């Protein structure tokens, strides 16, 4: 458990002191114990991986390398420099909006969120080690003068919408990833721009927010680039193979979107730290990982990513969850359950959606998370039906741990597969498996 400094503005700080404070605030807590439990799980996974590695002989690995090389040749075929992809990231977005609306916050350390959790912080606060996904009470310890502004999502949504209006002028198929992030394919725009006059060429900015641009031949690289030269920076990878390979060569795998804490540890344990290490260890990786993961690793090692910016507009699920002070009496648990059903139904109705698979999520006071799901015959947005389903799932959980009470700190509801109107057969035709299994070695 330490500070995650994989973030802009966190370059030169007293990490030792910060980590000490975080540790002092955390140790002994239920949360901390659960984190340790999770760390043990990762260690166990690494040990299992190690054992597997030792069971391979050199000839097998060589064979895998050849196979990987064939796959890499196919990936090389897909390399495409014809599109100009931009990834835009609004810097410390929520904080920037709050500072815009209240300039007195500008030069003091401030964060957006609550005492339980911060969403983001400004650069003043980052100097103290205060960052997103840090609980407010620890942030306060690190920086006693920190001002915490409560989140106001409606406001951020509005600003985000305004910004998107502007971005749409550059790419009508622009793909927003969240309130503060988007991918654009500006190839067409660049072609048209050649005929623009000076006035048309000025980039219209929304008031005050800083933003990062990553410009590259594909989405994966553009995303990494937008994280360079923060704040308010811009980074471009030249559009040729050598430049891409140079860029990727020493790039830590952790910087790549999709490779997180756990994968990074697992890879690190076998000597893979940079993207070129992914290539170096391709023989081993092919044997250890699934076809999907391995294919992804290879593409990363070659700096090849998707060039098609398009939004998959239909949402797959909708959920709502709440954290609270412990509740354990069945009557209260059921009441909370009903409350959440109501909240979910309200959200469903707003978007005129229905749910087919109802999932109950619970988190015990020891931070153990469990989910229980039940699929209905037909999609619904009826509170009573939703509740009776969720209630049965909850009842089972209560029985399961009796005679001990079920002691919870969080409960959530979600629904999925709403797209299919009343029990239609879902057309799940992704040729994914067949294609990838073609590459995967026969066991």
Partner DNA sequence: GGGCGAAGGACCC
Partner DNA sequence: TTCCAGGGTCCTTCGTAT
Binding site for DNA (CB under 7 A): 1, 22, 25-26, 29-32, 38, 41-42, 45, 115-117, 119, 132-133, 135-138, 140, 177-181, 256-264, 290-293, 312, 315-323, 325, 347, 357, 359, 369-375, 409-410, 412, 414, 426, 428, 433
- For DNA, which is the closer residue by CB, 310 or 384? 310
Determine the distance from the C-alpha atom of residue 370 to the mean position of all C-alpha atoms in its chain, rounded to a whole number: 20
In whole angstroms, the minimum distance from the beta carbon of 257 to DNA comes to 5
Which sequence positions are flagged as catalytic?
A: 181
For residues 262, 319, 384, 333, the Cα torsion angle rounded to the nearest 10 degrees is: 50
- For DNA, which is the closer residue by CB, 315 or 349? 315
Using DSSP, state whether 190 is helix, strand or coil: helix
230: left (phi over 0), alpha (psi -120 to 50) or beta: beta
- For DNA, which is the closer residue by CB, 188 or 293? 293
- For DNA, which is the closer residue by CB, 240 or 371? 371
Distance (Å, whole) CA 208 – CA 92? 12
In whole angstroms, the minimum distance from the beta carbon of 417 to DNA comes to 8
Please, what's the largest Cα pairwise distance for the chain?
Answer: 77
- For DNA, which is the closer residue by CB, 73 or 116? 116
- For DNA, which is the closer residue by CB, 43 or 193? 43
* Residue 52 · residue 58 · CB < 8 Å: no
> Edge to edge, what strands does the sheet with 118-121 contain?
118-121, 110-113, 147-149
Distance (Å, whole) CA 357 – CA 438? 32
The H-or-E segment that residue 359 falls in is strand 355-364
- For DNA, which is the closer residue by CB, 116 or 331? 116
For residues 195, 200, 201, 207, the Cα torsion angle rounded to the nearest 10 degrees is: -160
User: What Rg do the C-alpha atoms of the chain give, in angstroms?
Assistant: 25
Give the DSSP letter of residue 80.
-
Residue for token pair 């040749």: 73
| Residue 417 dihedral angles phi and psi, to the nearest 5° | 55, 35
Q: Which of 310, 311, 303, 312 is nearest to 81 (CA)?
A: 303
Distance (Å, whole) CA 102 – CA 345? 35
Q: Which of 437, 72, 440, 77 is nearest to 280 (CA)?
A: 72
């Amino acid at each position: 458990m330490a500070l995650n400094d994989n973030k802009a503005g966190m370059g030169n700080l007293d990490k030792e002191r910060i980590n000490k404070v975080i540790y002092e605030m955390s140790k002994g807590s239920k949360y901390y114990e659960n984190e340790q439990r999770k760390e043990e799980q990762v260690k166990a996974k690494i040990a299992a991986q190690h054992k597997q590695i030792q069971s391979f002989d050199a000839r097998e690995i060589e064979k895998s390398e050849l196979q990987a090389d064939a796959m890499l040749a196919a990936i090389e075929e897909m390399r495409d420099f014809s599109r100009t992809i931009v990834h835009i990231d609004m810097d410390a977005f929520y904080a920037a909006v709050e500072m815009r609306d209240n300039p007195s916050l500008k030069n003091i350390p401030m964060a957006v969120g609550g005492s339980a959790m911060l969403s983001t912080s400004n650069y003043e606060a980052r100097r103290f080690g205060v960052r997103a996904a840090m609980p407010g009470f620890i942030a306060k310890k690190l920086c006693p003068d920190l001002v915490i502004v409560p989140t106001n999502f409606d406001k951020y949504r509005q600003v985000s919408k305004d910004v998107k209006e502007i971005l749409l002028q550059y790419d009508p198929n622009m793909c927003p990833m969240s309130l503060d992030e988007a991918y654009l394919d500006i190839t067409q725009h660049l072609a048209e721009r050649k005929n623009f006059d000076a006035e048309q060429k000025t980039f219209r900015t929304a008031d005050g927010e800083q933003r990062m641009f990553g410009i590259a031949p594909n989405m994966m690289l553009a995303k990494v680039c937008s994280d360079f030269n923060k704040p308010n920076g811009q980074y471009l990878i030249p559009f040729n193979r050598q430049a891409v390979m140079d860029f990727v060569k020493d790039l830590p795998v952790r910087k790549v979107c999709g490779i997180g804490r756990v994968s990074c540890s697992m890879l690190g344990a076998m000597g893979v730290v940079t993207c070129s290490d992914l290539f170096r260890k391709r023989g081993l990786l092919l044997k250890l990982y699934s076809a999907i993961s391995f294919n992804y690793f290879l593409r990363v090692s070659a700096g090849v990513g998707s060039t098609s910016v398009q939004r998959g507009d239909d949402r797959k699920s909708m959920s709502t969850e709440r954290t609270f002070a412990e509740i354990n009496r069945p009557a209260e648990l059921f009441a909370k359950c009903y409350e959440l059903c109501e909240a979910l139904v309200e959200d469903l109705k707003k978007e005129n959606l229905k749910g087919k698979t109802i999932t109950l999520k619970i988190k015990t006071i020891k931070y153990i998370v469990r989910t229980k799901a039940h699929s209905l015959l037909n999609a619904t947005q009826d509170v009573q039906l939703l509740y009776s389903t969720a209630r049965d799932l909850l009842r089972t959980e209560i029985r399961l741990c009796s005679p001990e009470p079920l002691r919870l700190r969080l409960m959530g509801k979600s629904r999925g597969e709403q797209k299919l109107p009343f029990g239609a057969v879902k057309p799940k035709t992704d040729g994914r498996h067949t294609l990838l299994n073609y590459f995967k070695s026969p066991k």
